[in-house]
Structure 1
Amino acid sequence: MELDHPEVIAQVTAAFEAYEEALVANDVDRIVGFFAGDAIRFGLADQQSGRAEQERWRRAEPALPPGRRLKDTTIRGYGPDVAVVTTLFGYPGRDVLGRQSQTWARLPEGWRIVHAHVSEPGG
């Protein structure tokens, strides 16, 4: 298995950055479009199974607080079709950094998140 192939890293980096832009903009259609139809997502106090559940949840939730920042983002490729993204995230005025991990898979429609996990220390 080839690890961290430059093309995989570049493609997933672009997809992850586009996802983050959609997340910060609270563009629900774009956000859920980055997920595979059967993706699982575990949030801080929620979980969704599948794109339809995530879309319902996203539409009911408020937008993220302004000023989201990322720290220590790492993207690792595992062969030509799988990558894992991990990052820390925070907001102005908060000392706590949250944790976010995503497993991305190359599907016929492109790179999609198949599993995501968001947590905070002690949560």
Structure 2
Amino acid sequence: MELNIPEVVEEIRTLFERYEQALIDKDVEVLDATFWNSPLTIRAAIHENGYGFDEIHAHRVRRPPGPGIKLARRRVVITTFGRDLATVHLEFDMRGRDMPARQSQTWVRFPDVGWKVVLAQVSVTESTPAY
């Protein structure tokens, strides 16, 4: 298996940036299009746990728009495994809190619908790990 094929990394980076902008804009259509429409999709975040696409969508509709600006990023790591599996890990400064937050996503390329997030998680920590 080939890791980090440059054009695959770039595909994921573009999709990830589109998703991040959709969070800021509360573009529910793009947010929904990013996630696999399946009861097996999971998004666990600070104020929500969505088990299945329908729960994730319901939260998207209820939540307010994002902060209006991109969050201060500390680090983004994209790793691709072949041409059909990728992970994204973002470490950023949480608004209003003196602590870092993290967002991780697992992306799968499906033959019929393309790249979709199948698992996402957002968390806040009290300290930054040593790398």
Above 0.5 in TM-score?
A: yes
User: RMSD over aligned Cα, in angstroms?
Assistant: 1.5
Q: Which consecutive unaligned segments of at least 5 residues does structure 1 have?
A: none
Amino acid at match of 1:118: V
SS class of match (1:52): helix
Runs of 4+ in 1 over 3 A off after TM superposition: 91-94
What does residue 79 of structure 2 align with? 76
SS class of match (1:63): coil
The answer to whether the 8 A contact 1:65-1:91 is kept is: no
What does residue 62 of structure 1 align with? 64
What does residue 109 of structure 1 align with? 113
State the alpha-carbon separation in 2 of the partners of residues 23 and 34 from structure 1. Answer: 11
Paired positions, count: 122
Amino acid at match of 2:77: T
State the alpha-carbon separation in 1 of the partners of residues 66 and 100 from structure 2. Answer: 14
2:21 counterpart of 1:48: no
State the alpha-carbon separation in 1 of the partners of residues 10 and 66 from structure 2. Answer: 26
What does residue 88 of structure 1 align with? 91
Q: Which consecutive unaligned segments of at least 5 residues does structure 2 have?
A: 127-131
Q: Which sits farther off after the overlay, 9-18 or 41-50? A: 41-50
Q: Which sits farther off after the overlay, 15-24 or 88-97? A: 88-97
The answer to whether the 8 A contact 1:102-1:115 is kept is: yes
Compute the displacement of 1:49 (Å). 1.7
Compute the displacement of 1:63 (Å). 1.9
SS class of match (2:24): helix
Percent identity, aligned pairs only, is: 36
What does residue 26 of structure 1 align with? 26
TM-score (norm 2): 0.85
State the alpha-carbon separation in 2 of the partners of residues 79 and 5 from structure 1. Answer: 7
State the alpha-carbon separation in 2 of the partners of residues 16 and 100 from structure 1. Answer: 11
Relative contact order (C-alpha < 8 Å, sep 6+): which is higher? 1
